[in-house]
A and B are shown apart, each in its own frame.
Chain A
């Protein structure tokens, strides 16, 4: 395997390789009889950009849920920010799948961002200029100032996703957990979203776990790839994992990986794996994702 430059592996922001931000050891998730993935050993370190790839039903969403502490492991251990998942405090920025927002919500972009700061606090809400300025700063940093006061329901998919990133940044995250953040975005917005995420990990050393079914928009940023498939998983640099040899072995069938003009094309991988044997209604994100989203492609 080709050696990977150190700078790339750690990102250029605050390299801190001593303790991983999150750590899975021999981890497995299963629903009843069906094991989604198992034997997963994974560390994500400060400033690292990990892409999670895999076909539908390969357990990408289960991984996100496990990292959030909402999906118990059936085996192994998971430590997030030094503590068991779900009790790891509030320094996890979570960007859920598109359209996971209640349609009835009468919220402006700035309200969603503010929720990221103090939405969890009980008691009367103090009027604070400092908080308002911080919200304004965050909105500006994600390029959402011009629609800060527009209800979220009236924003395009790309605009909403910028606000979502703003909300995640408002939590001052040490880990950014992005669940298909590029879904139904056009190329310009895909680039904008990935650049925002990348900027954060470089400036603050935030670890990024980026679930996506499309590697190319993040190919140039990714330090490592976790490729989940029914037959197992592969972890390594994009060069290691996204090769004909590695994916053919993973899928148990001939898969060809082509590299054309800086893009990776995977040919022959079974697109769909049998749907997971669990009730998707348990997961609101699934329900929400099933409803069509209209993306903001502008004239």
Chain B
């Protein structure tokens, strides 16, 4: 067997696939929930220009999760606490874009440092440590599953309720405010919703790669549509496809799940970008035709 063959089999291995599949049933369910909320939240992350905030929140989420690991308490809960602290801080201190980026830049290394500290103190399985940063197929046990699904449901309900005014406030804050939309409150509420979504994503793709679920699918969808209905739908489809595809491909191999998820998600983005060029050209052609004023 050549070296290349060896690496290939390490990356793609499908021995005993049926039995393995049964083991990750919970992961697939969690993945679908995560794809749903990640794809939806991502739409606003793009609209509000928050990718950096997503990254910052995920580092504090990582700190929370590793603290929970060290103390032997529920990791999802720890991750959520870390996320909400970060999201709240960014939401309150960084109302303006300029301040926001520095707040995030300050929080992020602090969170990562704390996480490293807790993991260094942790004496348990090394795989648990690595998984928080780069993702894992969680053989999600029941209490964690309940947290994941419960939090997803909460995020989903809140997003449904605030969707329209949040879209208004995100795209057009000036006019939204004059129409009585509580722009500031919505901004903070969204940060907290985003915090919960990030905490969920950390469980599966890991703190370093959260952007692949919360930013890339929505950004890809935005290349091919501007419809307020199609955009979130496509974003969710892309996010779910990335994560479920990633889980299914990673199943038999010894490699963490994240490279599979990030590659699928990136490929979708590249394809959408190419398709989007076509669309843009059509509109570009429109604006050179003379119009009657």
Smallest beta-carbon distance A80→chain B, Å: 11
Closest to B186 in A: A122
**Which one of B48, B226, B283 contacts A107 once the chains associate, using CB atoms below 8 Å?**
B226
Smallest beta-carbon distance A185→chain B, Å: 11
Q: How far apart are the CA atoms of A292 and B293 in the complex, in Å?
A: 24
Contact A116 B179 (CB under 8 A): yes
Contact B160 A115 (CB under 8 A): no
Q: How far apart are the CA atoms of A111 and B283 in the complex, in Å?
A: 17
Task: Say whether A108 faces chain B, with CB atoms less than 8 Å apart.
Answer: yes
Encode contact with A along B167-191: 1 for CB under 8 Å, 0 otherwise. Answer: 1101111111111110000000000
Closest to B228 in A: A111
Q: How far apart are the CA atoms of A157 and B127 in the complex, in Å?
A: 55
Known contacts A156-B287, A284-B174; A106/B164 CB under 8 A: no
Task: Say whether B22 faces chain A, with CB atoms less than 8 Å apart.
Answer: no
Q: How far apart are the CA atoms of A154 and B226 in the complex, in Å?
A: 11
Question: Which residues of A (273-291) have their CB < 8 Å from a CB of B?
Answer: 281, 284-285
Encode contact with B along A146-157: 1 for CB under 8 Å, 0 otherwise. Answer: 110111001110
Task: Say whether A296 faces chain B, with CB atoms less than 8 Å apart.
Answer: yes
Residue from the set B167, B171, B176, B179 with the largest chain A CB neighbour count within 10 Å:
B179
A/B pair count, beta carbons within 8 Å: 118
Contact B293 A188 (CB under 8 A): yes
Smallest beta-carbon distance A100→chain B, Å: 5
Question: Which residues of A (249-299) have their CB < 8 Å from a CB of B?
Answer: 281, 284-285, 296, 298-299
Question: Which residues of A (111-131) have their CB < 8 Å from a CB of B?
Answer: 111-112, 115-116, 118-125
Task: Say whether A15 faces chain B, with CB atoms less than 8 Å apart.
Answer: no
Q: How far apart are the CA atoms of A199 and B175 in the complex, in Å?
A: 22
Contacts of A188 on B, CB cut-off 8 Å?
293
Task: Say whether A104 faces chain B, with CB atoms less than 8 Å apart.
Answer: yes
Contact B226 A122 (CB under 8 A): no
Q: How far apart are the CA atoms of A296 and B287 in the complex, in Å?
A: 9
Encode contact with B along A175-208: 1 for CB under 8 Å, 0 otherwise. Answer: 0000000000000110110000000000000000
Contact B293 A143 (CB under 8 A): yes
Contact A96 B46 (CB under 8 A): no
Contact A104 B49 (CB under 8 A): yes
Contact B287 A154 (CB under 8 A): yes
Contact B173 A106 (CB under 8 A): no
**Which one of B175, B178, B231, B284 contacts A154 once the chains associate, using CB atoms below 8 Å?**
B284
Task: Say whether B96 faces chain A, with CB atoms less than 8 Å apart.
Answer: yes
Contact B171 A107 (CB under 8 A): yes
Contacts of B284 on A, CB cut-off 8 Å?
154
Residue from the set B47, B171, B286, B287 with the largest chain A CB neighbour count within 10 Å:
B171
Q: How far apart are the CA atoms of A269 and B49 in the complex, in Å?
A: 42
**Contact-residue bracket for chain B:** 35 or more
Q: How far apart are the CA atoms of A106 and B96 in the complex, in Å?
A: 21
Contacts of A70 on B, CB cut-off 8 Å?
177
Task: Say whether A92 faces chain B, with CB atoms less than 8 Å apart.
Answer: yes
Question: Which residues of B (276-293) have their CB < 8 Å from a CB of A?
Answer: 280, 283-284, 286-288, 290-291, 293
Q: How far apart are the CA atoms of A112 and B231 in the complex, in Å?
A: 15
Contact A115 B172 (CB under 8 A): yes
Smallest beta-carbon distance A148→chain B, Å: 11
Contacts of B227 on A, CB cut-off 8 Å?
108
Q: How far apart are the CA atoms of A106 and B42 in the complex, in Å?
A: 13
Smallest beta-carbon distance A84→chain B, Å: 14
Known contacts A108-B226, A120-B181, A121-B165; A115/B173 CB under 8 A: no
Contact B290 A298 (CB under 8 A): yes
Contact A119 B167 (CB under 8 A): yes
Closest to B180 in A: A120
19 CB-based A-B contacts, threshold 8 Å: A68-B177, A96-B174, A96-B175, A102-B47, A106-B46, A107-B228, A111-B228, A112-B172, A115-B172, A115-B175, A115-B179, A116-B179, A123-B160, A123-B164, A124-B160, A154-B287, A189-B293, A191-B293, A284-B174
Smallest beta-carbon distance A73→chain B, Å: 17
Contact B47 A94 (CB under 8 A): no
Contact A106 B222 (CB under 8 A): yes
Encode contact with A along B94-112: 1 for CB under 8 Å, 0 otherwise. Answer: 0010100000000000000
Smallest beta-carbon distance B191→chain A, Å: 16
Q: How far apart are the CA atoms of A68 and B290 in the complex, in Å?
A: 37
Smallest beta-carbon distance A215→chain B, Å: 22
Known contacts A105-B170, A105-B171; A120/B286 CB under 8 A: no
Task: Say whether A101 faces chain B, with CB atoms less than 8 Å apart.
Answer: yes
Q: How far apart are the CA atoms of A116 and B165 in the complex, in Å?
A: 11
Smallest beta-carbon distance A201→chain B, Å: 19
Contact A106 B47 (CB under 8 A): yes
Known contacts A151-B283, A171-B179; A121/B164 CB under 8 A: yes
Task: Say whether B161 faces chain A, with CB atoms less than 8 Å apart.
Answer: yes
